Amino acid sequence: MGCSTDIGTSELLRVKIEKFFPEVRIVGLESMHTVTEGYIRDNHIELVISTIRGLELHSVPVVVVDAMLTERSQDSVRNALRRF
């Protein structure tokens, strides 16, 4: 997961994602600058969930959610997970 907010918000988002999507394995909570194509490849990442708009990766889909993981954000994650 990539977040633009502080670590407390990132941790809250992580907990919510684990609650609503137990099938998702979170590799890490990372800054936008850490999530590179090399990081994706080295960590075998299939999907990035981010609060950052404009994070462009070519190797995996990026789902942008809000920090509170509203119903709309949950729907976005569900739609992305259907592809797997």
Position 77 in a domain: yes
Using an 8 Å Cβ cutoff, are 26 and 48 in contact?
Answer: no
Q: Residue 68 is part of which domain span?
A: 7-81
Position 2 in a domain: no
Position 38 in a domain: yes
Q: Lowest mean pLDDT of 26-30, 44-48, 74-78, name the range.
A: 26-30
pLDDT at 1: 55
pTM over 0.75: yes
The 8-class DSSP code of residue 26 comes to P
pLDDT at 31: 84
Position 1 in a domain: no
46 vs 30: CA distance, rounded Å: 15
What pLDDT, in 10s, does the model give residues 38-73? 999 999 999 999 988 888 888 999 999 998 999 999
Number of domain units in the chain: 1
Amino acid at 12: L
Position 67 in a domain: yes
What pLDDT, in 10s, does the model give residues 30-44? 888 889 999 999 999
Residue 35 token pair: 């999530």
Q: Compare 84 and 74 and report the one with higher pLDDT.
A: 74
SS3 content of the chain, % helix, strand, coil (to 5): 35, 10, 55
